Structure 1
């Protein structure tokens, strides 16, 4: 990244964007504001055309969504675009004695941050950021689904409390029945033939429960008549169907993006660790991007906010805690991966048990597993090698 000579920071709002171009912190080339429309985009390009494209690095802070159209436009024109971690920009801001907060001052800070961090920035940050947006959308949908399922279970605890103890309420056939008859009270009055028709309509699958069983359980249920709760439950079930369909679409698009970005090899490398599947592997790659931008496993761990911080002053020594200053999305994925390998991978399970016998509580033992897993993954991706129990890949383990 050392070939760059012009560093352009951009701060974007809904109606306009401010740009500051520098060649060094002491040399500002131009500062200007442009409208967020085709005229503004073209005027910005005319400013940039004064310099060779391969000498220009354009960046913005990772926040909001207004930048996407501008960055797509610039990328199609073959400009180098990156999205900066807010902590990098904040570090520049903290060095300033006089605190100012305007769109132009923010653009200048971003330009300074680009200049400072130019040697460690990934060369394809925009593409990886776009991939990351997909992964984060999938994460958001899964969290919404989990919340919805919790709401559905709470509703059924009142409307048909016996049902969840007897069947999996999240099969399509049960949800379809509940969508039409959202309580034991409603099922009591439902024609048996109608219930049977809904159950038998589930394509290609034999239902685990019969219409007769549902009617029998409903007849003996303690659930009472709550029309408002029934209406709410029906809405939650429809929303769940919609979100599950969206989740499937986003997952397929995420897989396609992996193939187009030639990330499949990295996905397969991660999956060679038993306990890591397609989904967590894709999310990990989406958040990390190019592993070579981290000079050591410690840098990767710190980026995830899994590094410890200790407060000390004089003779006082505070307790060690996670910094949690890094990428919260990556931190969540790493935790899920650590749980997965402890359950399914004998090597990491034995390591977890050993740390527990040494006196570590559950969360600290899991954190130790997460650290070991990150060191292993770092070495694997760095050397493009699959998981091996001889651990000859990394001297850090």
Structure 2
């Protein structure tokens, strides 16, 4: 849900236990306080494991009992993807968790001691204070089909980046070893052009093949392959190609890996 800052502050009562957690890859730090900022207990260090998460929950329950708290709110800084495991665990336990802006954490540390230096224990305290002041957001943790869609979108984005990288590498390869190729085939991603690239031959090697041999190779992938005139044109530009010949073995290996 979306709340303004006053509404967020109103949710923090004298019966609310506020937990600030500094997230790391392997070990987290938690600090607990009340709505006035009075701290309870020593900081808790717990690892990124199921057993440690359960210890964290038991620590919270113990503090709630000792201080007669009725509810708890756990704040954390969304550091990379490391916070997600704990967030899902807390959601499964029906414990409210929120996130704070990393820039707010940095600025608040500067106000406290004029130093933005990273310190896990200090960061956990600052996070708890930001939650107390209503400077937090409630993250949306998708479930079911929505979780599937989020992961699918991430995969799509990664594949799109990979595709663009490969396209750039192929263009780079053609520019170095057979720049004239694109004067015959305007789009190297076409079926015929791709099939010719799969021959894995440099221009001076391509001209050693007969036109019929090239045509047979093309028809393995393209039923309506380009005509002999196109093949003749390709061999003609290959004869006068300015493509690099040195390092040809590794050049062909590079093309095979793309």
Q: Same fold (TM over 0.5)?
A: yes
Could you state the TM-score of these two structures normalised by the residue count of structure 2? Answer: 0.71
The 3-state SS of whatever aligns with 2:133 is helix
Task: Name 1:151's counterpart in structure 2.
Answer: 169
Equivalents in 1 of 2:196, 2:22: separation in Å?
51
Equivalents in 2 of 1:144, 1:54: separation in Å?
50
Matched, 1:197 2:220: yes
Equivalence map 1:120-135=2 (5 Å)? 121=137, 123-127=138-142
Number of matched pairs: 227
Matched, 1:94 2:92: no
Q: Is the 8 A contact 1:11 1:107 kept in 2?
A: yes
Alpha-carbon offset, residue 39 of structure 1: 1.8
- Aligned-pair RMSD on alpha carbons? 3.4
Q: Is the 8 A contact 1:173 1:199 kept in 2?
A: yes
Alpha-carbon offset, residue 23 of structure 1: 2.1
String of CA shifts for 1:250-275, please: whole Å, max 9, x gaps: xxxxxxxxxxxxxxxxxxxxxxxxxx
Alpha-carbon offset, residue 217 of structure 1: 0.7
Q: Is the 8 A contact 1:196 1:211 kept in 2?
A: no
Equivalence map 1:165-184=2 (5 Å)? 165=183, 166-171=185-190, 174-181=193-200, 183-184=202-203
Task: Name 1:362's counterpart in structure 2.
Answer: none
Matched, 1:108 2:125: yes
Q: Is the 8 A contact 2:33 2:128 kept in 1?
A: yes
Alpha-carbon offset, residue 211 of structure 1: 7.6
Taking CA–CA contacts closer than 8 Å with sequence separation of 6 or more, which of the two structures ends up with the larger relative contact order? 2
String of CA shifts for 1:4-27, please: whole Å, max 9, x gaps: 433322223333211112223621
Structure 1: where are the runs of 5+ without partners? 201-205, 238-397
Could you state the TM-score of these two structures normalised by the residue count of structure 1? Answer: 0.49
Structure number with larger C-alpha Rg: 2
Task: Name 1:22's counterpart in structure 2.
Answer: 33
Q: Is the 8 A contact 1:24 1:115 kept in 2?
A: yes
Q: Is the 8 A contact 1:58 1:81 kept in 2?
A: yes
Matched, 1:3 2:15: no
Q: Please, which of 11, 29, 41 is the counterpart of residue 53 of structure 2? A: 41
Q: Is the 8 A contact 2:29 2:121 kept in 1?
A: yes
Q: Is the 8 A contact 2:75 2:131 kept in 1?
A: yes
Equivalents in 2 of 1:22, 1:194: separation in Å?
73
Closer, same or farther: CA 77–151 of 1 in aligned 2, 3 Å = same
Structure with more of its chain in helix, by fraction: 1
Closer, same or farther: CA 215–224 of 1 in aligned 2, 3 Å = farther
String of CA shifts for 1:63-94, please: whole Å, max 9, x gaps: 23333322221111122233433112222222
Equivalents in 1 of 2:18, 2:151: separation in Å?
24
